[in-house]
Amino acid sequence: MTTPPMALPPIVAGVWRLHEWQFDTPALVRWIEQAMALGVTTFDHADIYGGYGVEAAFGQALAATPGLRHRLQIVTKCGIKLVSSARPAHALKSYDSSRAHVIASVENSLRALHTDHVDLLLIHRPDWLMDPDELAGTFNQFRTSGKVLHVGVSNHTVAQFAMLHRRVPLATNQIEFSALQMGALAEGTLAQAADLGLPPMIWSPLAGGRLINGHDEQSLRVRAVLEALGRERGVSAATMAYAWIRRHPSRPIPITGSGRIEALREAMAALNVSISAEDWYRVWQASMNQEVP
């Protein structure tokens, strides 16, 4: 079936640490509304976040605020099976992209989120036993029913993405990329995204906080460059880190991971920051601790 391309915003709010933020439902509603006021209208979930509890907490906020759901987009992921009291049938941490598991996961997510659809569903990790034809059929079944509007993957290699994309149109590959973690450049996942015109979603854009707070040699080298570039532009090192990611022609979409509104402001500020190719390579050189070959 033909599906219009998904319009993803330039910055997405990640809520994988929501269970650590100590927000009650009214506080979470305020945070969501503040994020949306900044222009951050898409929220990234996974069924496993918070021990299978984050979606339910977010869903309570949606249920408490009629009309809020229709003003935002929800991304969620499935395919990882954790051993958890919330999923007593899981005997072993493993991956599962079977029709039965994906359908059950989506139905659980819809109930937890108090919604009748998710805007984007991703397979969280590559399942080495994935049957691409079966998974494509499952995806199409969801899209036909309207329970899932768009589909994609996360952490998939170039070959894995291509195999599934030949069978069903994928919206994105959610991958790790930062000024401290550049595997996506060498592995070709960013090049593939640019070639296909499918912007990748980027998790851990600040390297789990190392870019801002790390004391290892790589973090210190890169942060010094980001701070210097930021001083020239009147922005923070975090904003420069987001702008550095966005400079890639695949048009990456960073996912924030903080409950601080100021962190969202820093990410959004990157939309107004330009970086020359030379400055981009200054950051690359500091990270790799060498000149380009």
* Cα–Cα dist 241/284, whole Å: 11
Best CA proximity match to 241, nearest among 260, 266, 276: 266
Select which of 49, 95, 242, 281 is catalytic: 49
* Cα–Cα dist 4/195, whole Å: 18
Only one residue has tokens 């590959």, namely 173
What are 136-140's contacts with CB under 8 Å, separation 24+?
136/164, 136/167, 136/168, 137/99, 138/99, 138/102, 138/103, 139/168, 140/1, 140/168
CA angle 16, 20, 23 (to 5 degrees): 100
Beta pairing partners, 255? 12
Helix, strand, coil percentages in the chain from 3-state DSSP, rounded to 5: 50, 15, 35
Only one residue has tokens 């420069």, namely 240
Residues 114/64, Cβ–Cβ less than 8 Å:
no
Residues 6+ apart with CB under 8 A from 253: 8, 9, 10, 11, 12, 172, 199, 200, 201, 202
| 49 given a catalytic annotation | yes
The residues assigned a catalytic role are 49
